[in-house]
Structure 1
Amino acid sequence: MDFASLMSAQIAKGKPASKSKTLEQAKPSKYIKRADVEAQRQAEYAAEQKAIEDARLARLEKKRKFEEDETEKNRAREEKRKRLAEESRRLREEEEEKEERIRRKRLGLPELPPKEKALESGDATAAPENDTPDEELVQKLREMKEPTRLFGETHTGRLRRYRKLAGLDATGKPKAVMYPGPIPTALQPVPEADMKVPATVPKDPDARSFLRRQLASYFTLVLSEWQVSLSLRDEAVKTSSSGKAAYSAMVQARDSMVPLYRKLERGEVEEGILGPIVEIVRACQERRYVDANDAYLRLSIGKAAWPIGVTMVGIHERSAREKLHANDTDAAHIMSDEITRKFLQSIKRCLSFSQTRWPPTTPLQLMGAFGTLRRDNALYGATDDPAAIAQQMWAGNTNVIRTEQIQQSAYQQHLDQGTEPPALSPDTVRYWSDFNRVFYHPKSIVQLQEYELNSALMPFEKWATGEDLFDSLDKEHDLLDRDLRPFLEECDQLQAIQMITSADDAWGGFAAKYLERMRDELGKTSAWVWGLEEGGRKPRDKQILQIANVAQSIYQISSQASMYIPLTTLPDVLPSYINLNGSSRWHTSALQLLAIESITLPTRLRSNHQGRSSFADIETLLSNDGNRRVAQLNMSIKDPAELEEEVDGHTTQHDSRMNGFTNGNHSHDDSDAKDLDIDMQPKTANLTGIRGNESRRTHVFSQLQSLRGKWKSSIEIEDANLASRDRFGHGPRIECHQSSLLFPVIDSFPQVFASGNIVQKLAVQATLSTTTSVAKRIRSVERIARSIIGIDEREALCDGLVGICEEYEDGWESGSESDDDS
Structure 2
Amino acid sequence: MREVESYFTYSNKEESLVDHNVHWRAGIGADGSETFLPRTVIYDLKGGFGSLRKINALYEPGYETGHSEAAPSLWSGQSVLQKQPPVEPSAYQKSLDAGTEPPRLTTSSVRYWSDFTRVFYHPKSLVQLYDFELNSSIRPFERYSMGTELFQMLDKEDDIADRDFRPFVEECDRMQGIQTLATLDDAWGGFATQYLDVLRDEYPKSCIWLWGLQSPMLDVSREKRQLRMSNMAQSIAQACSTASMVVPLSIPEGELPRNLTVDPRSPWHVSAAFATAIESSTLETRMAVGRHQQPTSMWDIVESLNTGGEQTLSRLRMGVGSSASAGQDQEGEGVDFFDLGRLKGPREKSRKRRVFGQMSSQRGLETGSDDADDDKEEKADARTRRLVGDPVYRRLTSEHSFDTPLKFPLLDSFPSIYADGTDRTDISVRTVLSTETTIGPQVKTLKSLTSWSIPLDEREVLSNGLADVADAYQDDWSSGSDEDDDDL
TM superposition score normalised by structure 1: 0.49
Secondary structure at 1:559's aligned position in 2? coil
Deviations 1:406-459 (A, max 9, x none): 111111111111111111111111111111111111011111111111112211
- Alignment match, 1:553: 235
Deviations 1:780-816 (A, max 9, x none): 1111123322332222212221221122122245667
CA distance in 2, matches of 1:461, 1:370: 18
Secondary structure at 2:127's aligned position in 1? coil
The structure 2 residue matched to 1:477, chosen from 158, 163, 183, is 158
CA shift for structure 1 position 506: 0.8
The structure 2 residue matched to 1:790, chosen from 455, 461, 464, is 455
Given that 1:535 and 1:572 are in contact with CA atoms closer than 8 Å, whether structure 2 keeps it comes out as no
The structure 1 residue matched to 2:316, chosen from 633, 641, 644, is 633
Name the amino acid aligned to 2:266: S
Superposition map of 1:355-434 within 5 A:
366-382=45-61, 383-384=63-64, 400-434=81-115
Name the amino acid aligned to 2:393: I
Name the amino acid aligned to 1:603: T
Name the amino acid aligned to 2:119: V
Secondary structure at 1:547's aligned position in 2? helix
Secondary structure at 2:359's aligned position in 1? strand
Superposition map of 1:173-192 within 5 A:
none
Secondary structure at 2:293's aligned position in 1? coil
Name the amino acid aligned to 1:722: E
CA distance in 1, matches of 2:357, 2:423: 36
CA shift for structure 1 position 756: 8.1
Secondary structure at 2:235's aligned position in 1? helix
Given that 1:783 and 1:818 are in contact with CA atoms closer than 8 Å, whether structure 2 keeps it comes out as no
- Alignment match, 1:489: 170
Secondary structure at 1:628's aligned position in 2? coil
Given that 1:742 and 1:764 are in contact with CA atoms closer than 8 Å, whether structure 2 keeps it comes out as yes
Given that 1:451 and 1:460 are in contact with CA atoms closer than 8 Å, whether structure 2 keeps it comes out as yes
Superposition map of 1:558-637 within 5 A:
558-569=240-251, 572-608=254-290, 609-610=292-293, 612-637=295-320
- Alignment match, 1:193: none
Superposition map of 1:716-735 within 5 A:
716=372, 718-725=374-381, 727-728=383-384, 729-730=386-387, 731-735=390-394
The structure 2 residue matched to 1:770, chosen from 430, 435, 439, is 435
Distance of aligned partners of 1:747 and 1:599 in 2 relative to their CA distance in 1, 3 Å threshold = same
CA distance in 2, matches of 1:581, 1:768: 24
Name the amino acid aligned to 1:517: V
CA shift for structure 1 position 540: 1.0
CA shift for structure 1 position 381: 2.8
The structure 2 residue matched to 1:741, chosen from 389, 406, 428, is 406
Structure with the greater alpha carbon radius of gyration: 1
Given that 2:440 and 2:473 are in contact with CA atoms closer than 8 Å, whether structure 1 keeps it comes out as yes
The structure 2 residue matched to 1:659, chosen from 297, 305, 323, is 323
Superposition map of 1:269-308 within 5 A:
none
Name the amino acid aligned to 1:697: K
CA distance in 1, matches of 2:343, 2:270: 24
Matched, 1:806 2:460: no
Select the structure that is richer in strand: 2
CA distance in 1, matches of 2:330, 2:210: 22
Distance of aligned partners of 1:612 and 1:770 in 2 relative to their CA distance in 1, 3 Å threshold = same
Name the amino acid aligned to 1:680: F
- Alignment match, 1:710: 365
CA distance in 2, matches of 1:493, 1:391: 38
**Unaligned segments of structure 2, at least 5 residues:** 1-43, 397-401
Matched, 1:544 2:208: no
CA shift for structure 1 position 501: 0.4
Given that 1:470 and 1:510 are in contact with CA atoms closer than 8 Å, whether structure 2 keeps it comes out as yes
Distance of aligned partners of 1:496 and 1:533 in 2 relative to their CA distance in 1, 3 Å threshold = same
CA shift for structure 1 position 370: 0.5
CA shift for structure 1 position 741: 0.7
CA shift for structure 1 position 710: 2.1
CA distance in 2, matches of 1:679, 1:446: 32
CA distance in 2, matches of 1:389, 1:570: 53
CA distance in 2, matches of 1:764, 1:387: 47
The structure 1 residue matched to 2:337, chosen from 680, 684, 687, is 680
Distance of aligned partners of 1:625 and 1:386 in 2 relative to their CA distance in 1, 3 Å threshold = same
Distance of aligned partners of 1:740 and 1:446 in 2 relative to their CA distance in 1, 3 Å threshold = same
Name the amino acid aligned to 2:334: D
CA distance in 2, matches of 1:816, 1:786: 20
Name the amino acid aligned to 1:384: E
Name the amino acid aligned to 2:145: A
Q: Which stretch of structure 1 is more off in the superposition, 717-726 or 758-767?
A: 717-726
The structure 1 residue matched to 2:148, chosen from 467, 470, 490, is 467
Secondary structure at 1:499's aligned position in 2? strand
The structure 1 residue matched to 2:200, chosen from 519, 540, 552, is 519
CA shift for structure 1 position 489: 0.2
CA distance in 1, matches of 2:190, 2:347: 29
Given that 2:176 and 2:206 are in contact with CA atoms closer than 8 Å, whether structure 1 keeps it comes out as yes
Deviations 1:23-49 (A, max 9, x none): xxxxxxxxxxxxxxxxxxxxxxxxxxx
Select the structure that is richer in helix: 1
- Alignment match, 1:182: none
Given that 2:46 and 2:128 are in contact with CA atoms closer than 8 Å, whether structure 1 keeps it comes out as no
Distance of aligned partners of 1:392 and 1:561 in 2 relative to their CA distance in 1, 3 Å threshold = closer
CA distance in 2, matches of 1:392, 1:470: 31
**Unaligned segments of structure 1, at least 5 residues:** 1-364, 639-657, 664-670
CA distance in 1, matches of 2:199, 2:343: 35
Aligned positions, number: 428
Given that 1:628 and 1:770 are in contact with CA atoms closer than 8 Å, whether structure 2 keeps it comes out as yes
- Alignment match, 1:359: none
CA shift for structure 1 position 770: 0.7
CA shift for structure 1 position 378: 1.7
Distance of aligned partners of 1:673 and 1:555 in 2 relative to their CA distance in 1, 3 Å threshold = farther
Distance of aligned partners of 1:660 and 1:515 in 2 relative to their CA distance in 1, 3 Å threshold = closer
Given that 1:515 and 1:561 are in contact with CA atoms closer than 8 Å, whether structure 2 keeps it comes out as yes
CA distance in 2, matches of 1:619, 1:627: 11
Distance of aligned partners of 1:377 and 1:524 in 2 relative to their CA distance in 1, 3 Å threshold = same
Name the amino acid aligned to 1:368: G
Name the amino acid aligned to 1:520: D
CA distance in 1, matches of 2:271, 2:60: 29
Distance of aligned partners of 1:558 and 1:716 in 2 relative to their CA distance in 1, 3 Å threshold = farther
CA distance in 2, matches of 1:372, 1:591: 24
- Alignment match, 1:701: 356
Secondary structure at 1:739's aligned position in 2? coil
Distance of aligned partners of 1:385 and 1:562 in 2 relative to their CA distance in 1, 3 Å threshold = same
Given that 1:534 and 1:570 are in contact with CA atoms closer than 8 Å, whether structure 2 keeps it comes out as no
Given that 1:412 and 1:435 are in contact with CA atoms closer than 8 Å, whether structure 2 keeps it comes out as yes
Superposition map of 1:312-327 within 5 A:
none
CA shift for structure 1 position 570: 5.1
| Fraction of identical pairs, as percent | 39
- Alignment match, 2:24: none
CA distance in 2, matches of 1:507, 1:395: 39
Distance of aligned partners of 1:706 and 1:675 in 2 relative to their CA distance in 1, 3 Å threshold = farther
Given that 2:46 and 2:130 are in contact with CA atoms closer than 8 Å, whether structure 1 keeps it comes out as no
CA shift for structure 1 position 717: 6.2
Distance of aligned partners of 1:565 and 1:397 in 2 relative to their CA distance in 1, 3 Å threshold = closer
